Structure 1
């Protein structure tokens, strides 16, 4: 095969999602992000968007196996599920934040049920894609690259579409209680709301590629411009929304930590507005003395003298 338009798009995916993967790992490793298990799925999505284009580019050399096309098609079809899991992870964090100050009728197990359905849709998409590879091999022998998901693949897509509807409902209900969110968490809700329209467009493309026999939506040799504008760009916008939001959220978390620390300092009697001074000469000398044997003996004698003075003072008061 020759280098074509789709191969150029694949190279762009490799470059962009390699950077997104590094940012995702960096953010997931930072303190304060452990409550959002959705980052694990964002990293998986970036990996899928790296492995898939790599498979497509590998078809340019020699006579590629049908399994390469099959893997590329499966990764494109099921890539929507990690994005839904990212949103569910963010909604889970928002729900925990609300429940710290206000008890709602929404419960974590509701999100967990949706998560299980998304994972089930992912499994059905993979199994259905593997079974659809048999019909692809026959088409490949005739020189055509055609991939039509079977009943299991279609069932997986239906589950993912149904989960999107459930995510929209949960997001709308959480928005009612947004006034009870912790400071800085509102931007996470905004990130979810902004990502939902792009996720809807991506699901529309999934629906056409799964249930339609229109060659323009063929996941392998379909119209590359449609694939780029209706699927890939939407996915990238969602990733950018969440990564940028979490970068700014980290700054907000740090500011809250500093504010809490200042409040603790002020409650201890120190002035938080005054800059911290360096150690005095006496403190430095005292620290040096404690580090020597002679210093330990002197400090032991001083401590005993203070203890005797305290006992004498208590005896006089009695």
Structure 2
């Protein structure tokens, strides 16, 4: 079985992402495995890339359409943990801004972006399974996959907007936490290039841009290196940030995956008896955030 240049890249991905997976578990052990916090998605991305690399290597000995479809699906779904991890970093930063009494975004808005990414993930999986492989080995991309990448791009644009708006309040957060928007800002151009590569592969496939047999240098320069860099930056950030106490964790970074109905109605002001050090609640329909007393007075 001869391994071509693309196979060499797959081997390198497996070699890189296995230790990165160990580091990601260490970061999550430090900060928690909450999906909203974002750290857990570095684990997901590492697992996806290891499995994807193995699938790519298997295609050299097994050219079945099922294995090729699996390779397409894994390549597409790898973007979603990258975006969700970024959303988690933004959640932490915006929470600190809100705790200083300058709320910029609500839980509902972040959950909407999260929903777009999740739907994009579902469509990417569905599109990969509905795609077809012709006898000559060329791949016909499903329109469903194209809708999925469009949703990814919309979610990315929303996060970019959130970063730009929130960065104006960067001076109001603790010095250590100011690293978060800097790292995310550096990661954004890399993620954009990664999205552009996938979009071109889906909408304008060619000998240069193809998920299965495109140009290896283009693939490495527009996809592989970008993901390596973003994962490394996020893991480095995780090792350098302190673990937040429960009293320091805000509504965005601890938001439930699904919206929960407010069981108490008619509340429009801060409830009596709220304990010192607790984050206030964000009331449905109002988007008003009450920071913890000890943080607001800092």
TM-score by length of 2: 0.78
CA pair 241-129 structure 1, distance change in 2 beyond 3 A: same
CA pair 98-68 structure 1, distance change in 2 beyond 3 A: same
> Which residue of structure 1 aligns with residue 16 of structure 2?
16
Is 1:30 the counterpart of 2:30 in the alignment? yes
2:175 match: secondary structure: coil
CA pair 36-179 structure 1, distance change in 2 beyond 3 A: farther
Cα displacement (A) at 1:103: 3.1
The runs of at least 4 consecutive aligned structure 1 residues that moved more than 6 Å come to none
> Which residue of structure 2 aligns with residue 167 of structure 1?
159
1:233 match: secondary structure: helix
> Which residue of structure 2 aligns with residue 302 of structure 1?
none
Is 1:158 the counterpart of 2:150 in the alignment? yes
> Which residue of structure 2 aligns with residue 298 of structure 1?
none
CA pair 180-34 structure 1, distance change in 2 beyond 3 A: farther
Is 1:180 the counterpart of 2:179 in the alignment? no
Paired with 2:77 and 2:187, the residues of 1 have a C-alpha distance of 18
CA pair 160-184 structure 1, distance change in 2 beyond 3 A: same
> Which residue of structure 2 aligns with residue 202 of structure 1?
194
Of 185, 204, 208, 1:212 maps to: 204
Cα displacement (A) at 1:155: 0.5
CA pair 164-31 structure 1, distance change in 2 beyond 3 A: closer
Q: What is the RMSD computed on CA atoms of the aligned residues?
A: 1.9
Paired with 1:99 and 1:163, the residues of 2 have a C-alpha distance of 22
Cα displacement (A) at 1:34: 5.6
Contact kept? 1:148, 1:210, Cα under 8 Å: no
Equivalent pairs counted in the alignment come to 245
Contact kept? 2:2, 2:60, Cα under 8 Å: yes
Cα displacement (A) at 1:59: 2.2
From the two aligned structures, give the one with the greater helix fraction: 1
Cα displacement (A) at 1:31: 5.1
CA pair 179-32 structure 1, distance change in 2 beyond 3 A: farther
CA pair 253-158 structure 1, distance change in 2 beyond 3 A: closer
1:93 match: secondary structure: helix
Contact kept? 1:121, 1:155, Cα under 8 Å: yes
> Which residue of structure 1 aligns with residue 82 of structure 2?
83
Contact kept? 2:31, 2:244, Cα under 8 Å: no
Contact kept? 2:73, 2:128, Cα under 8 Å: yes
Contact kept? 1:27, 1:247, Cα under 8 Å: yes
1:215 match: secondary structure: coil
Larger Rg: 1
Gaps of 5+ in 1: 255-318
Contact kept? 1:95, 1:108, Cα under 8 Å: no
Contact kept? 2:104, 2:166, Cα under 8 Å: no
